Amino acid sequence: MSGRVLVAGIGNVFLGDDGFGVETVRALSAHALPDHVEVVDFGVRGVHLAYQLLDGYDTLVLVDATERGGQPGTLYLIEAPGSAPQGRGRPVLDGHHMSPDAVLGLLGTLCAGTGSKPPRRTYVVGCEPACVDEGIGLSAPVAAAVPDAVRMLLDLLPAAEAEPEPDESNRCELRRTP
């Protein structure tokens, strides 16, 4: 495996807290990172993310607003089981409304067609949004969570590099509440 890591910021900055992923990778980019770690703001370009993953990454870290019922600003670290799912049928291609699940489904389909391998590990660093209505700018609790999310990512990156092949029975979830 290449050991390459892609940290992908996802979200629409015109929908309030949905811009969490974009703002977080922007803040993460200010830090010195190892050469094997690539940080990219994909925004709403899910199809581009799927195609970039064909370049071969060992670990994918998605950074996105994640509604799970917690208090706004709550951070989640979620390890997705296994690698990208192999798509059944054709994925719905809507380049401006592709959820992380849809991107991974498309990746599974693309990998099957090209012989490429999806990332061995996939994580989601998510933040509970307060508001995803039209508007620019994060709510106060989500904006306050961005520095903590950057610290979470900086802690995760060395661990992602050193981890052995994931075991699907060993899923973990970490919740941090502001």
Write down all domains in the chain, each with its CATH number in brackets. 5-176 (3.40.50.1450)
Residue 8, beta-bridge partner list: 40, 62
Return the pLDDT at 90: 42
What is the tens place of the pLDDT at every residue in 51-83?
Answer: 788 788 889 899 999 899 999 999 999 887 654
Residue 62, beta-bridge partner list: 8, 124
Q: What is the C-alpha end-to-end distance of the chain, expressed in Å?
A: 36
Return the pLDDT at 104: 55
Residue 76, beta-bridge partner list: 126, 175
pTM: 0.75
What is the tens place of the pLDDT at every residue in 119-170?
Answer: 888 898 999 999 999 999 999 999 999 999 999 999 998 866 555 444 443 3
**Alpha helix (H) residue ranges in 3-138:** 20-28, 46-53, 100-114
- Spatial separation of the C-alpha atoms in residues 55 and 108, rounded to whole Å: 14
Residue scoring higher pLDDT (1 or 64): 64
